[in-house]
Amino acid sequence: MDIKTIFESLSTALDLEISLIEDSYEIKIKVAPEGLHQLLARCKQDPELAFDALTNQTGIHVDESIQLYYVLYSYSHHHELMVNCEVPLEGGEAPSVVDLWPGADWLERETYDLLGVQFTGHPDLKRIMLPEDWEGHPLRKDYVFPESYQGIDNRPSEITKSFQQK
Amino acid sequence: MLIETMTSLGVPELLAQFIYAVLIAFLCVNFIAIYAGVVSVVERRVAAKMQSRVGPNRVGPQGALQWLADGIKLILKEDLIPNGADKFLFKLAPFLMASGVAGAFIVLPWGPSSVIGADLNVGLLYLISVTALVAIATLMAAWASNNKWSLLGGMRAAAMIVSYEIPVAMGLLPAIMIAGSLQVSVLMDAQGWAPWDWIVFNNPFAMLGFLLFVTGSVAESNRTPFDLTEAESELVAGYATEYSGFRFAVFTLAEFANTWVVGAVGAAIFLGAGHAPPILSSLPGIEVVIFVGKTMFMVLILMWFRWTLPRFRIDQMMDFSWKYMLPLSLIAFFGQAIYFLGTWDQPGIQIVVSHLMVLAFLGLLFLFLNRVMINFKHQAVVVNSPQTELAYLEKIGKIKPKVVESDVATEEAP
Amino acid sequence: MGKQLRTEVMTINMGPQHPSTHGVIRFIIKTDGEIVHECEPDVGYLHRSIEKIGELMTWQGFVPFTDRVDYLASMNANWAYCTAVESMIGTVVPRRAEFLRVMVGELNRISSHLIAIGATSMDLGGFTPFIQLLREREYINDLLEMACGARLTYNYMCIGGVLYDVPANWNEKVAEFLTHFELAMEQMNRLISYNRIFINRMANVAPVSREQAIGYNLVGPNLRGSGVQFDLRKNHPYSVYPELEFDIPYGQGREGQVGDSYDRYYVRLEEIRESIKIIRQCIKMIPEGDIQAKVKNSIKPPKGVFHSKTETPRGETGYLIESNEKTSAYRIKIRTGSFTAMSIIPELAPGLFIADLIALIGSLDVVAPELDR
């Protein structure tokens, strides 16, 4: 199905505030965090849409907010959909979709680990890539590498600094 | 013989027997030590040949002294005893295992049926009982290591060894029935030089007994496909986890020496030990050569199993022993008895059956060699052959095709 | 009586270093010695922050980093990224470059599956097939070294095509290798695939149903092993795949349930045969021509977020790239097949023997570099 048709059917079926983002690539559907779970549940359960797989889930830090992207795919209808949701940078929370797609478990843990987005309703939200006691969320644009970690010196050496000077 | 010589020289009988026993034990233990080292190198070269690589070939001619290098390295390692381990049992376990295997050597023949360390009239029974010391030693090692994982691995190994004793013992029963005695020299003399005089080809139940014996022995010596207890990639390193240095070398030594025991018993009892064909029987020492050849053939088959087959899971191993091998061994035993009942006064039928068995075996061998030839043909397609390069250069015109002399000659003939 | 004899549950560590080729992955297993009660993977030991580096490098300069995302199937990893960026800037890759990409991609798929099959066999105790398959892989390494000079991390593709042209007699050499390899593959196959011990170890071990596979987003041979007939090369074809004829193997419950470990293993075996077919067709169809499209030195794709998928040996690799019209990406997110394959292990592990857990991890073909990036 065409994304515009999907958008029409979703906006008529739900009374959420959803809009379209049209940039140079595919059209994406934007929704507020409160309505995210309802929208994705509808995407999965509607037999016309039948998005039975969550292919990709990530976040991008853009100027004081984190843009979450969900890429859905349907193995029966072979169409794809990207859903966008904006959460604030500090204390941003989004509903977890683990109950819809079990594979979202690790994807959301990675987004929490590297970007700091809390997912409410996640069974076990803890860091996945970095050690448990790491501070900070590295994929944010304002991330500063720590000077030391558990007593190991992390400052760049003279040679590294000579490469970094542009 | 040696004892008579000594008593005739005036040595008291008891002392003569004691000296004889010490001499036999000394020879056996030395043989085990050297054999285990050499066969470890042979195994590594055979495995490498099967896997298209070379194996150890640096130390000594073609790597033949690798075992000396490994032995010296292991002796020089630090002797660690884990904290909280039962020191006495920890130190005793490897040597108990080695003595269990060494104890089996004294009833093994070395060629002619008169050259046996101690020709007990319950020789085979003694053999099977003494190798059960291995199970005790395994449990001892597992318990004394003070390590949960060693204990689990050791209990599994002990359970496996105990359950595979039964097919081993019952697989020997058809042979014992044919020869009529447990004495090893009688069993050897009951066979002849020709394949149809061997016990293994006597009747199908003896062949079944032989197969059960070999499979059970592979399990007894903890080799693949039954080496679950030693499998490294299963995160439990087995009962010998905490052993290092020379103690670990003794465990390995016992395992390799066990392969000789399996090979020697198989060759002596089933494969017509040492009997030479009439043309060769006048050569001195021919019986030793033939016997050692048959034993090494069995040992090479064990190595072949190890590097070809994947390993069983623990429950599959126990299933295999109790649900499949035990009924088969009962079938072998009863089948042999009924066969004897049926053909006791008709030796003609026994001769015919044994000849048919040899023919059937030769047929299977022929099929096997066919398969091997197909493998060789597959290997004949060579990658990076010069022919491809030359054919390509001809195609693009860089070189001219070669003119063969004989073609030119036949063209000119009328 | 049975309840009173219950043994205590121990927590053990299948540590970051272990004698398997899956890489540095750690499992925390709660077991009573035989049966696994709980298994929790602990990943991140090979995290090299490749996604953060993508924000510092130029678009073309990021290609060698994609090699390291999956160093066992490096050509396909390069290809996934280059396809994404080429779709963003709208470059048309020349036909010869497309065919070269397909050929080296399929050769690399063969060598990656050889490692997967060999590592599974070695974990189960059959050491010989692994080493013999490595010998075959050496031939593939030699072929790819002729093409680009490297044996493992190729860095062969660039935005707009491939970097180097292959030598003049490469097609003949590939054809010769394939003739030899088909027979050698059969020899290896007879050692393990029809071996009763191997089948007993792999059949009916951790079957994954179709719904579970789609819910956990398993991709690639893992998904096809559960009976889903889906392959990006057939359903959403890219490059010159629409012109090539090949089948998609899928799990049919050959020796047990549909979706057990044997099915996943067998799908990989069949995929090797299909790749041989594809390469043979490419050898016949490859034209002469350019190998690189004309691309500006400083690439600046239009603003926006783009998602593209390609089929690598371990499943579909999805690249979600945001561009800010600068010379380096704003965000690159790589979603690999091993990541979600790992997440299904805590679900499947309870109730398995420890030996079965090893077979399961081998059949899912999880490699650490793809997992941690």
Token pair for B414? 């009328």
The tally of CA atoms less than 13 A away on the side-chain side of residue C331 is: 25
* Mean pLDDT calculated for residue range A102-126: 89
Its sign, for the CA torsion B158, B159, B160, B161, is positive
Give C364→chain B minimum CA distance, Å. 16
Its sign, for the CA torsion B350, B352, B355, B361, is negative
What's this model's pTM, rounded to 2 decimal places?
0.89
Please check whether residue A82 touches C, CB under 8 A. Answer: yes
Give the per-residue pLDDT at B263: 92
Model confidence pLDDT, tens digit, residues A24-55: 888 888 888 888 888 888 888 888 888 888 98
Q: What percent of chain C has pLDDT over 70?
A: 97
Give the per-residue pLDDT at B236: 54
Chain C contact probe: residue of A24, A74, A105 with most C CBs at under 10 A: A24
* Mean pLDDT calculated for residue range A58-84: 89
Model confidence pLDDT, tens digit, residues B390-408: 877 887 787 777 766 554 4
Q: Give chains near C: 3+ CB pairs under 8 A.
A: A, B
The rounded mean pLDDT for chain C is 88
Give A95→chain C minimum CA distance, Å. 18
Q: Are C304 and C323 in contact (CB under 8 A)?
A: yes
Residues 6+ apart with CB under 8 A from B44: B55, B56, B63, B66
CB contact under 8 A, C355 and B224: no
DSSP state of C58: B
Give A145→chain C minimum CA distance, Å. 12
Q: Are C73 and C313 in contact (CB under 8 A)?
A: yes
What are the Cα distances from residue C119, in Å, to A38, B92, C109, C129, C131? 44, 38, 15, 9, 10
What is the three-class DSSP state of B354? Answer: helix
Sheet holding A80-88, edge to edge: A18-22, A27-31, A80-88, A65-73, A53-62
Q: Give the chain A residue whose CA is nearest to the CA of C50.
A: A139
Q: Are strands A80-88 and A27-31 parallel, antiparallel or unpaired?
A: parallel
C-alpha of A57 from chain center: 5
Model confidence pLDDT, tens digit, residues C180-200: 898 888 888 888 888 888 998
Give the per-residue pLDDT at C2: 40
Burial class (CB in 10 A: 0-12, 13-18, 19+), B203: buried
Give the per-residue pLDDT at B406: 52
pLDDT band at B335 (very low <50, low <70, confident <90, very high): very high
CB count in 10 Å sphere of residue B292: 17
Q: State how far the Cα of C125 lies from the Cα of B317, in Å rounded to an integer.
A: 14
Its sign, for the CA torsion C49, C54, C56, C60, is positive
Q: Could you tell me the maximum CA-CA distance found in chain C, to the nearest angstrom?
A: 78
Give C192→chain B minimum CA distance, Å. 8
> Which residues of chain C neighbour B388 with C-beta distances below 8 Å?
169, 172-173, 176
Is pLDDT at B411 greater than 60 in this prediction?
no
Q: State how far the Cα of B64 lies from the Cα of B58, in Å rounded to an integer.
A: 9
Give the per-residue pLDDT at B120: 84
Q: State how far the Cα of C144 lies from the Cα of C154, in Å rounded to an integer.
A: 8
Q: Where are the domains of chain C?
A: 49-336
* Mean pLDDT calculated for residue range C293-308: 89
Is pLDDT at C318 greater than 60 in this prediction?
yes
Token pair for B284? 């001195």
Please check whether residue B66 touches C, CB under 8 A. Answer: no
CB contact under 8 A, C126 and B396: no
Its sign, for the CA torsion C2, C7, C9, C14, is negative
The rounded mean pLDDT for chain B is 85
Please check whether residue B388 touches C, CB under 8 A. Answer: yes
Is pLDDT at C289 greater than 80 in this prediction?
yes
The correct answer on CATH 1.20.1600.10 for the domain covering C49-336 is: no
Helices within chain C (DSSP H only): 50-54, 63-69, 74-89, 95-123, 127-148, 170-192, 196-202, 210-215, 221-225, 232-235, 261-285, 337-343, 345-348, 354-364, 368-372
Q: Do chains B and C touch (3 or more CB pairs under 8 A)?
A: yes
Q: Are C329 and C54 in contact (CB under 8 A)?
A: yes
Give the per-residue pLDDT at B414: 44
Q: State how far the Cα of A51 lies from the Cα of A33, in Å rounded to an integer.
A: 19
Give B210→chain C minimum CA distance, Å. 21
Cis peptide before C369 (omega within 30 of 0): no
Residues 33-62 on A with a CB inside 8 Å of C are: 52-56, 58, 60-61
Q: Give the chain B residue whose CA is nearest to the CA of C357.
A: B234
Is pLDDT at C371 greater than 80 in this prediction?
yes
Is pLDDT at B232 greater than 80 in this prediction?
no
**Domains, chain A, ordered by start:** 3-142 (3.30.460.80)
Q: State how far the Cα of C184 lies from the Cα of C337, in Å rounded to an integer.
A: 29
Model confidence pLDDT, tens digit, residues C106-131: 999 999 999 999 989 888 888 888 89
Give the per-residue pLDDT at B231: 67
Place of tokens 């499209």: C293
A·C CB contacts under 8 A:
97
Model confidence pLDDT, tens digit, residues C49-97: 899 998 888 999 999 999 899 899 999 999 999 999 999 988 899 999 9
Token pair for B278? 């009439």
Sequential DSSP letters for A30-43:
EE-HHHHHHHHHHH
Q: What percent of chain B has pLDDT over 90?
A: 30
Q: State how far the Cα of C82 lies from the Cα of C69, in Å rounded to an integer.
A: 14
Give the per-residue pLDDT at C6: 52
* Mean pLDDT calculated for residue range C139-143: 91
Comparing B307 with B280, which gets the higher pLDDT?
B307
Q: State how far the Cα of B269 lies from the Cα of B267, in Å rounded to an integer.
A: 6
DSSP state of C330: S
> Which residues of chain B neighbour C139 with C-beta distances below 8 Å?
383-384
Give C251→chain B minimum CA distance, Å. 23
Q: Are C267 and C288 in contact (CB under 8 A)?
A: no
Is pLDDT at B250 greater than 80 in this prediction?
yes
Place of tokens 């195994």: B43
Q: State how far the Cα of A85 lies from the Cα of A38, in Å rounded to an integer.
A: 13
Q: State how far the Cα of C256 lies from the Cα of C207, in Å rounded to an integer.
A: 9
Sequential DSSP letters for C213-239:
HHHTT--THHHHHTT----HHHHS--T
CB contact under 8 A, C125 and B311: yes
Q: Give the chain B residue whose CA is nearest to the CA of C121.
A: B310
Q: Are B350 and B203 in contact (CB under 8 A)?
A: yes
Is pLDDT at B348 greater than 50 in this prediction?
yes
Token pair for B244? 């290092």
CB contact under 8 A, B388 and C124: no
Q: Are C223 and C242 in contact (CB under 8 A)?
A: no
